[in-house]
Structure 1
Amino acid sequence: MKFSVDRAVLLKALAHVQSVVERRNTIPILANVMLSAQDGALTMTATDMEIAIVEAVPGVTVTRAGRTTAPAATLYEIVRKLPDGAKVELDHPGGDAPLALRAGRFATSLMVLPVEDFPSMTEGKLPYGFELPALTLRELVDRTKFAISTEETRYYLNGIYIHATESDGQKVMRAVATDGHRLARVEEPLPEGAADMPGVIIPRKTVNEIRKLAEESHDPVEIKLSDTKIRFTFGSVQLTSKLIDGTFPEYDRVIPRGNDKILTVDKKAFAEAVARVAAISSERSRPVKLSLKPDSLTLTASSPDQGQAEEELDGDNVSYNGTGIEIGFQARYLSDITDQIAEKVEFRFADGSAPTVVVDAAKPEALYVLMPMRV
């Protein structure tokens, strides 16, 4: 195998594939990327046996067809440190011989592992398929991923639950994530072809990878799936992932329906006030207390070591016509939710100890539930 390619093109592709590689694995071949130069084109493949990414690399001049594997992280670091505009040549004569890399006056060689040892997880039928605009996929991920649980014992919460359902008589695609302390639920119109799809839980690592790929893509994303596997195609990049084998909880049961005390507050003013009062404590889990009176909101935080901070919001920034209540939330949870909201945040309270519903006043299709803390 022998080919040459511009450093920038190779670096972009390596950045995609090497991020899938698991650094701390006990199977040496999984630390490698497979390079396949066939029919005048180059494809790169990497996998950790849970996710596989395959990328077709453009602008490659292939002078000798073949396949080999190379250490993904090392190859990426070498190419990253080459000068801009460099032409990179990779040459592997076959067998156990090392892979030679040359760029200008720089030359190195990398040890390879047999292609036959490289696993494949891209096979199998994916009977359900639809397309989503890249922007829509980004929004679904951004508005829910912060609520994914990191608690490994509740593995079925370690991802985003995607399914087809109905809302107010309309067919929608719904993305849900929860860690037991907060819940994020976002809806989009159901794309054509998704009506019969099974409900699936996309793992956290896969969510992070598709978010990075969606950021670079402007074309519709093709999505195919089965009960156990999902594949996203972003132009020349194809990412296949196993799904979490578990049952997502009946999240609708924890969404309050009768919260009638409504607070509407300017997002920017509220987020900045939360950040200022929360700065009194270095403990990320310490609560911020919200004290509500008609058209007035006071935020308070305290620390046994540092003291107390307080800020009042009123006037054009706050609208509240319920009875006075006090309720506390973890500052980071408040920030995670308000980060997803554009201008006006709407809080729907029942009392000082019941779950609170939070929505974007301009986009009610995104809904969040926040469990209060004792203050």
Structure 2
Amino acid sequence: MRATLERAALLKALAHVHRVVERRNTIPILANVLIRAGDGGLRLQATDLDLEVVESVPAEVGQAGATTVPAHTFYDIVRKLPDGSQVSLEMSGERGTVIIRAGRSRFTLQTLPDTDFPDLAAGELPVRFAVGAADFKRLIDKTQFAISNEETRYYLNGIYLHAVDSGGVALLRAVATDGHRLARVEMPAPSGAVGMPGVIVPRKTVAEIQRLVEDPEGEVRVELSPTKIRVSIGQVVLTSKLIDGTFPDYGRVIPAGNDKRLTVDRLEFKSAVDRVSTISSERGRAVKLSLADRKLVLTVTNPDSGNATEEIEVDYDSDPLDIGFNSRYLLDIADQLEGDTALIRLADPGSPTLVQDRDDAPALYVLMPMRV
């Protein structure tokens, strides 16, 4: 194998693929990135057996071939090379090494055979659709914060992506929940997505897709089966296993009868919650919302350090209500809202609360209250 290419192009591709590689690996080949040189240039590939990222890079190939090198070391070498340099890769005459040259720099890396590198065979992916990059990223960005970290409920460790029919309108919907809060975001279903199986995309895959969508004007191509998903973004192809589990019937926890409507300036509310929560304990994080006619009082009481209160004007004309929430969860949801105001619909101190930008907004959030 012998190839030459621009450092910037190689660095960008390595930045995409090397993140998949875990820092600690019991299987040596999984610590490596596969480099394959051919007619189309270089093809870089990395996997952790559940997730695989492949990217093609233009290169002058003097001799076709393939090998694998330590992913993080290779990335660090290329990252530290001078801007604008040309990088050459060449299999050494010595068995099991590759030489990397750029200007006056020369590195020799140990390799492992490319034949040992595992391939995440996707099999048949019958469902296929294309969606605008900005729309797809929005689905993910506005739900991923609610993904559960609790490994025992593994079926909550991802985003549930599925198609629904809502009043005769086909929608592509993303849902995530950790049992304390729920995020549901939807968009018109693209052609090909109607009738797709409901799939749970794992947390690590979600994070990689977020990073790979760099051009909001671009297009994302999605292919999936009940067990695998493939996402193509430009020259990058990400293939991942899906979580094998049943996502709960989330519709049951979305309240329909919350009749107390609170409309508040989003940024003012967020700032007030942030200020009073300064006094809260790391474990508790509870903030009490006391609602009366056109007035909201936020209170935090910490027996160890003191208390804090703040009053803001709001649009609220229902019965007085005291309800508590985790301040961190309130701030997370406020960050996802896009409008100037937040619409919060409440029922009583023990029932789920609904948060949206406005009625019928495409993003909907449910938050469970805390006892305060």
Query: Which of the five TM-score ranges fits, normalised by the shorter chain?
Result: over 0.9
Task: Show the counterpart of 1:46.
Answer: 46
Assess if the C-alpha contact under 8 Å between 2:285 and 2:328 holds in 1: no
TM-superposed CA distance for 1:95, in Å, is 7.8
Q: 1:285/1:234 Cα in 2 relative to 1: closer, same or farther (>3 Å)?
A: farther
TM-superposed CA distance for 1:216, in Å, is 3.9
TM-superposed CA distance for 1:218, in Å, is 3.0
TM-superposed CA distance for 1:250, in Å, is 0.4
CA–CA distance in structure 2, aligned partners of residues 40 and 358 of structure 1: 50
Q: 1:175/1:95 Cα in 2 relative to 1: closer, same or farther (>3 Å)?
A: farther
Assess if the C-alpha contact under 8 Å between 1:344 and 1:362 holds in 2: no
Assess if the C-alpha contact under 8 Å between 1:164 and 1:196 holds in 2: yes
Could you say what secondary structure the match of 2:244 adopts?
A: coil
TM-superposed CA distance for 1:6, in Å, is 1.4
CA–CA distance in structure 1, aligned partners of residues 205 and 227 of structure 2: 14
1:32 counterpart = 2:32: yes
1:100-158, Cα deviation, whole Å (9 max, x unpaired):
11111111111000111100014411011001100011110111000000000000000
1:63 counterpart = 2:59: no
Task: Show the counterpart of 1:359.
Answer: 356
Over the matched positions of the two proteins, sequence identity in percent amounts to 57
Assess if the C-alpha contact under 8 Å between 1:96 and 1:113 holds in 2: no
Could you say what secondary structure the match of 2:112 adopts?
A: coil
1:204-227, Cα deviation, whole Å (9 max, x unpaired):
000000011113453210000001
Task: Show the counterpart of 1:372.
Answer: 369
Letter in 1 for 2:98: L
TM-superposed CA distance for 1:196, in Å, is 1.8
Assess if the C-alpha contact under 8 Å between 2:122 and 2:239 holds in 1: no
1:29-62, Cα deviation, whole Å (9 max, x unpaired):
001000000114111000000000110113x111
Residue from 319, 322, 326 that aligns with 1:323: 319
Letter in 1 for 2:19: S
Aligned residue-pair number: 371
CA–CA distance in structure 2, aligned partners of residues 78 and 352 of structure 1: 57
Structure 1 residue runs of 5 or longer lacking an equivalent are none
Spell out the pairing of 1:206-221 with structure 2 (5 A cutoff). Answer: 206-216=205-215, 218-221=217-220
CA–CA distance in structure 1, aligned partners of residues 122 and 170 of structure 2: 31
Alignment root-mean-square deviation, CA:
1.3
CA–CA distance in structure 2, aligned partners of residues 95 and 245 of structure 1: 45
Letter in 2 for 1:359: Q
Which runs of structure 1 show a deviation greater than 4 angstroms over 4 or more consecutive aligned residues? none
CA–CA distance in structure 2, aligned partners of residues 65 and 101 of structure 1: 16
